[in-house]
Structure 1
Amino acid sequence: MDLNIRGRTALVTGASSGIGFETARVLLNEGATVVMTGPDPDELKDAVDRLSAFKDSLFAYDADVTVASAVDRLAADVAAEVGDLDILVNNAGIHGAGGLFHEISQEGWDRTIDVDLMGPVRVTRAFLPGLRRGGWGRIVFVSSEDAVQPYEDELPYCAAKAGLLSLARGLSRTYASEGVLVNTVSPAFIATPMTDEMMSARAKEQNSTFDEAIASFLREERPFMELGRRGRPEEVAHVIAFLCSDAASFVNGSNYRVDSGSVATI
């Protein structure tokens, strides 16, 4: 399917790996100009090198979404060197503080909310003026199954991702009349560095192999993931790309679950 985004300009946060990297790759394949961001310059350079076939359509700037001045500098650099955006994909995030509610420190809460909720707020505020000027825009927030199906040992992450659903819904009501459509995508247990880290820790705790940790996690913690495996980053990226396109011209304020059935409700 031709998504008709050739010539559009997109920014993807958290683009050094996982869902963000695959989203950048899919958008580039569709003919978009893509700006990749991430907090680690070395990881970002490696990601750019892996996409060298698209070097004429690819820009990269390291930026920490928790630092307002860094986000403002990113917006200024993109405006000067690339121009206004048509597409913004807010993907940057961390798993953050884990444990039961009474075990999580204030610092753990603050860090998780700062990255996973306030990071997208900062980035969206910085780039929204350009999106509005174009009269055509797409904003996609990467939320999570946890937003609507919270787990007791990762409540800061759950709360932050639930906040993104509310934020996106509110923005979708505000700017659709200007041509800027806002939606969310909610993955579950995707094969990314974040879940690799989770499964490595689980394997160590259980004195098991990495694959055994994944199998036990699916069996014990995610029983409604009917396909019985972790998702692939590109499986999420293709849904994001659809929402960034003209093919989704009547989709606004929606949440697309890419979760193998993990959320056990309609």
Structure 2
Amino acid sequence: MDLELTGRTALVTGGDSGIGWHTAKLLVAEGATVAITDVDQEILDEAAAELPGDVLAVAADLTDPADVERLHREVTHALGDPDVLVHAAGITGAQGLFHEIDEDGWRSTLETDFFAAVRVVRAFLDGMRRGGWGRIVLLASEDAVQPYEDELPYCAAKAAVLSLVKGLSKTYGGEGVLVNAVSPAFIATPMTDAMMAKRSQEKGVDVDEAIRTFLDEERPFMELKRRGRPEEVAAVIAFLASERASFVNGSNYRVDSGSVATI
């Protein structure tokens, strides 16, 4: 399917690995001009070099408002106003039961997993409004609607992302800027790699066994019984970022193997 992205410009946060990197790869393949951002410039440059075509790599700390403004200046100077914004940057954040997590843990998680989304949308929204066409895709999670007791800061942040998406879609959809969310579950990314490495050490098993027991014990409704592949999430993001999704606004697309148990 031709997604009609030729001539469009996109910015992907969290673009040095995982879902962000695979999304950038697919957008480039579909004809878009792409910029990627993450925290470490050296790692980001290596990631950009592995993508097809010329990809702009601009490191930025999305928890720093001034750095987000610098990111905006550098991207728009080089490429003009992006038509597409994909916000895939995120962290697991503070973990433990509610009474075990202090306020700093909550704040640091929300800074990265919610306020960073607010900042990047604020920075790049006006350019889309001026152009009368835009696609914003924010990464949420199954955790937003199915919270887990040992990672409530992450769950709360992702629930806030869903609310943000719905509010933005109502505010700017009439101007041609469509806003949607994608909610993955247990995708093979560096974030879940770290989770499974920790689990394997705690349980004294290898990583494959840690994954198997996690699926059985913690994610029983993931009917495919495996971790998702980042390219499987990227395919949905690319669709939502395209002209083909011209009547999709304010939606949350789950890419979760059935992990969310409700309808």
Q: TM-score scaled by structure 1?
A: 0.98
1:127 aligns with 2:119: no
Separation (CA, whole Å) in 2 of partners of 1:68 and 1:6: 31
Aligned to 2:45: 45
1:78-89 map, 5 Å: 78-89=75-86
2:111 alignment partner AA: D
Match of 1:146 among 139, 143, 147: 143
Separation (CA, whole Å) in 1 of partners of 2:113 and 2:120: 11
Aligned to 2:87: 90
2:136 alignment partner AA: I
Aligned to 1:164: 161
Give RMSD over aligned pairs. 0.5
1:18 aligns with 2:18: yes
Q: CA deviation at 1:220?
A: 0.1
Q: CA deviation at 1:62?
A: 0.1
Aligned to 2:53: 54
Separation (CA, whole Å) in 1 of partners of 2:257 and 2:201: 26
Aligned to 1:69: 66
* Cα deviation code 1:69-95 (max 9, x no counterpart): 000001011121110110000111000
Match of 2:115 among 98, 118, 122: 118
Structure 1: where are the runs of 5+ without partners? Answer: none
* Cα deviation code 1:13-63 (max 9, x no counterpart): 000000000000000000000010000112101101111x312xx111000
2:25 alignment partner AA: R
1:4 aligns with 2:10: no
Structure 2: where are the runs of 5+ without partners? Answer: none
- Is residue 41–residue 57 contact of structure 2 (8 Å, CA) maintained in 1? no
Aligned to 1:155: 152
**Secondary structure of the structure 2 residue equivalent to 1:62:** coil
Match of 2:190 among 188, 193, 207: 193
- Runs of 4+ in structure 1 off by over 4 angstroms are none
Separation (CA, whole Å) in 2 of partners of 1:43 and 1:213: 28
Q: CA deviation at 1:212?
A: 0.2
* Cα deviation code 1:222-249 (max 9, x no counterpart): 0000000000000000000000011110
2:46 alignment partner AA: D
Separation (CA, whole Å) in 2 of partners of 1:242 and 1:89: 12
Aligned to 1:250: 247
Report how many aligned residue pairs link the two structures.
263
* Cα deviation code 1:171-198 (max 9, x no counterpart): 0000011100000000000000000000
Match of 1:102 among 95, 99, 109: 99
Separation (CA, whole Å) in 1 of partners of 2:85 and 2:61: 16
1:184 aligns with 2:181: yes
**Secondary structure of the structure 1 residue equivalent to 2:69:** helix
**Secondary structure of the structure 1 residue equivalent to 2:248:** coil
Give % identity.
65
Q: TM-score scaled by structure 2?
A: 0.99
